[in-house]
Amino acid sequence: MFNKRTEVAKVLNDGQPGEEMIVMGWVRTFRNNQFIALNDGSTNINLQVVAPLGKFEDALLRRLNTGTAIRATGKVVASPGKGQRVELVADQIDILGDSDAEKYPLQPKKHSLEFLREIAHLRFRTNTFASVFRVRSIVAYAIHKFFVDKGFVYLHAPIITASDAEGAGETFHVTNFDLANVPKDEHGKVDFKEDFFGRSANLTVSGQLEAELAATALGNVYTFGPTFRAENSNTARHLAEFWMIEPEMAFYDLEDNMDLAEAFIKYIIRYALTHCPDDMAFLANRLAEEEKQKPQQERSEMGLVEKLQFVIDNNFERITYTEAIDILKNSNHNKKKKFQYPVNEWGIDLQSEHERYLVEKHFKKPVILYNYPKEIKAFYMRQNEDGRTVAAMDILAPGIGEIVGGSQREERLDQLQSRMKEMGISEEELFWYLDIRRFGTVPHAGFGLGFERMVQFITGMTNIRDVIPFPRYPKNVEF
C-alpha cells in the first residue's frame, strides 16, 4: 500500500528511537548535502531527515530543492541537535514530485502577506498560513460542536434566493441569460419570466429569514454557510464571499440572545486555545514580532493568547446605543476631532473607528451594544416600546469592531407589516415570512457571526483576506 506513512507531528511527538517509519512531505530546506527539513502540513515543526553522506547518488541529492515532495524510509533516532527530540535517518529517499528551484516562488525567507496573497494557491505551504488554516478548521468544528451539544438543528439555508434579507440591494444576480442578448418586456425592462427561475434571483446575503422559518417549528436551529455581498469595499475587513454562522431560537428575547452569543464566542476561543496550542503559540509570536515594528503608542497592551484568555475570563460590557453615543460624544478623542466621522448626534450609524474606541480605549474589553435607532436597522428587528429603537445588539471585539450582529425578531404581524410598508418592502414577495407571524407566532431571536472575522480575532491576522483560502473582493476572483 502506497500510503503507509506516519505524519510528521506523530513522529515528533510519539516516535521512539529504533522505530522504522515512512514519512512523506515537502522539503523546506536541504543543507550540507545531508540534512532535510521535511514538512507535511500536520505541524509547523519540521522533521529533520538525515541523508547519510555517501549513501545517496548526487543526482538525487541535487533534486532535493525547496518544495520538492519526497518519501523517506528510515529509522527514528534520538537527535543530537537542539530543539528536536528525534530525527529520521533515511535508508531510502524517493522523489514524488520535483520542484524547480529557479521558478518556485516560496524560498526559505520571510515573504510579505501582500506577496503571498498573489500566490494564494501556494501560501498554504508557509508556516503562517498553515497555522491560520488549521485553526480555521478547528474553529469550524467547535462551532458545530457548540450548537449540536445544545440540541440545535443544523439547517442548510439556500445559496440562491429571491430575497435580500438585509434590504441593502448589495446582491450578486444569478441568471442563465446570454448577457449580450437579454430579453426585454414591452416596457424595455429585463423580462425575468424568460430566465431560469422565472424571476429575479440572487446569491444569498444571509440565511436568517429561512432559519426563522425552521426555528418556529424546530425550536433552535443554526446555519453555517457562504454568503455574498456585492459591496464595493476594498478594506481589510470586507469580503464579497464569506461564511456566516446564524442561529435562530424560538422563545428567546434580546437578553437570551446576548447571553448565547457571549457564551458562543467564549466557547470557540477556548476550544481553539485548547486544541491548537502549537499553532496559537506560533501566531502569538508572529504577532508579537509584528507589534515591535509599530510605534510604542500603537502597540497592543496584551499578547494574542493573553488577550483571548482575557475575553474568556471576563464578562462582556453591555451598554445601550444611547449610552455609547454619550461616551463617544464626550470623549477627548471626539472633542479633539480625532475621529474621521465626528459624533455629534443621536441616530448616527457607528463607524468602525467608534466601535474600536469603545472596545480598545474606553472599556478595554468586548462590548455588546443594544437598543439601536430603528432607522439604521433592518425591517425584521423588534420595535421597542419607546417607538424609536429596536431590540438589536452588536458585539464589538478588539482590533476588528463588529463581530456579531443580531436582534430579537419582530413577531407581531401588524408591527412587522407597518415597518415593511415604511421601508418599501413588498408583503407579496415575503408572504412566507409573514405567515410565521400569522400561524402560532412566538417571541424569537437570533444573530449572525462572521466566521472570517472570528478567525481573524483568534489568529491575530490583521487582514480578512488572510483568513479565507481564496479571498473574493472587488476586481479579484483569482484561483
Taking CA atoms, 141 is separated from 146, 276, 449, 452, in Å, by 9, 12, 15, 14
Amino acid present at 193: K
Q: How far apart are the first and last CA of the chain?
A: 33
- Confidence tier at 300 by pLDDT (50, 70, 90): confident
Q: Is the pLDDT of residue 168 over 70?
A: no
What digits encode the pLDDT tens for the residues 203-260? Answer: 999 999 999 999 999 999 999 999 999 988 888 878 999 999 999 999 999 999 999 9
What digits encode the pLDDT tens for the residues 399-414? Answer: 888 999 999 999 999 9
- Confidence tier at 170 by pLDDT (50, 70, 90): confident
| CATH class label, 8-108 | mainly beta
Give the whole-number percent of the chain exceeding pLDDT 90.
87
pLDDT for the residue numbered 83:
81
How large is the average pLDDT for residues 74-97? Answer: 94
pLDDT for the residue numbered 238:
86
Give the residue carrying C-alpha cell 476588528.
400
What digits encode the pLDDT tens for the residues 28-38? Answer: 999 999 999 99
Give the whole-number percent of the chain exceeding pLDDT 70.
99
How large is the average pLDDT for residues 179-206? Answer: 92
pLDDT for the residue numbered 169:
64
| CATH class label, 125-170+205-466 | alpha beta
Can you tell me whether residue 337 is helix, strand or coil?
coil
Give the residue carrying C-alpha cell 432559519.
211
Q: Is the pLDDT of residue 297 over 80?
A: no
Q: Are 211 and 225 within 8 A, CB to CB?
A: no
Q: Is the pLDDT of residue 397 over 80?
A: yes
Please give the Cα distance from 18 to 12 (Å, whole number).
14
pLDDT for the residue numbered 2:
67
pLDDT for the residue numbered 167:
60
How large is the average pLDDT for residues 97-101? Answer: 95
Phi, psi of 397 (to 5 degrees): -120, 150
What does the block give as the cell for 84? 528536536
The H-assigned helical ranges of 293-344 are 304-313, 321-329, 332-335
How large is the average pLDDT for residues 164-176? Answer: 80
Q: Is the pLDDT of residue 146 over 70?
A: yes
**Domain edges within the chain:** 8-108, 125-170+205-466
Instruction: Please indicate, yes or no, whether the overall pTM of this predicted structure exceeds 0.85.
Output: yes
pLDDT for the residue numbered 16:
96
List the helix and strand counts (H, then E) for the chain. 14, 16
Amino acid present at 340: Q
What digits encode the pLDDT tens for the residues 315-325? Answer: 999 999 999 99
Phi, psi of 449 (to 5 degrees): -115, 120
Give the residue carrying C-alpha cell 415570512.
433
Please give the Cα distance from 6 to 325 (Å, whole number).
57
Average pLDDT, the chain: 94
Q: Are 293 and 164 within 8 A, CB to CB?
A: no
C-beta pairs of 303-312 under 8 Å, 24+ apart in sequence:
304/280, 304/459, 304/460, 305/273, 305/280, 305/281, 307/398, 308/269, 308/272, 308/273, 308/458, 309/273, 310/365, 311/265, 311/266, 311/269, 311/365, 311/366, 311/397, 312/266, 312/269, 312/270, 312/273
Q: Is the pLDDT of residue 438 over 90?
A: yes
